Amino acid sequence: MTEVAAHSNALAFQPALGTPRTEKVAEQVKVLGARQSEAAAEAVQRQAEFSTKRAEFLSDQAQKLETRAQTRNPETGLGGRVDITV
């Protein structure tokens, strides 16, 4: 039995001859642009969520202060005990 060693110059991954290089680069640019847009949208979403939570917190604080001010009796303050007329 004869053994034959074959040698080939073929590349393991040959570039597609039907797709020019400029089209590949353009596709890569589109993919990169889409990824950047997605990252920017996620950042904006996080900022919006933070702003919403901050607004809710401040609204709750304002409500608590308003309730506290309404329940406070003005007669127990200093103005009822000290004459400040000029």
Please spell the DSSP secondary structure of 41-81, one letter per residue: HHHHHHHHHHHHHHHHHHHHHHHHHHHHHHHS-GGGSGGGT
Neighbours of 42 (CB within 10 A): 10
* Residues 6 or more apart in contact with residue 80 via CB below 8 angstroms: 74
- In this predicted model, what pLDDT tens digit does every residue of 12-47 receive, in sequence order? 555 555 568 889 999 999 999 999 999 999 999 999
Q: Is residue 68 very low, low, confident or very high in pLDDT (cuts 50, 70, 90)?
A: confident
> Is the distance from CB of 80 to CB of 74 less than 8 angstroms?
yes
- Tell me the C-alpha distance between 62 and 54, whole Å: 12
What pLDDT was estimated at residue 47?
98
For 81, what's the count of Cα atoms within 13 Å in the CB-facing half-sphere? 3
Residue 82 CA, distance from chain mean position: 55
Q: Is residue 70 very low, low, confident or very high in pLDDT (cuts 50, 70, 90)?
A: confident
Q: How high does pLDDT run on average in the chain?
A: 81
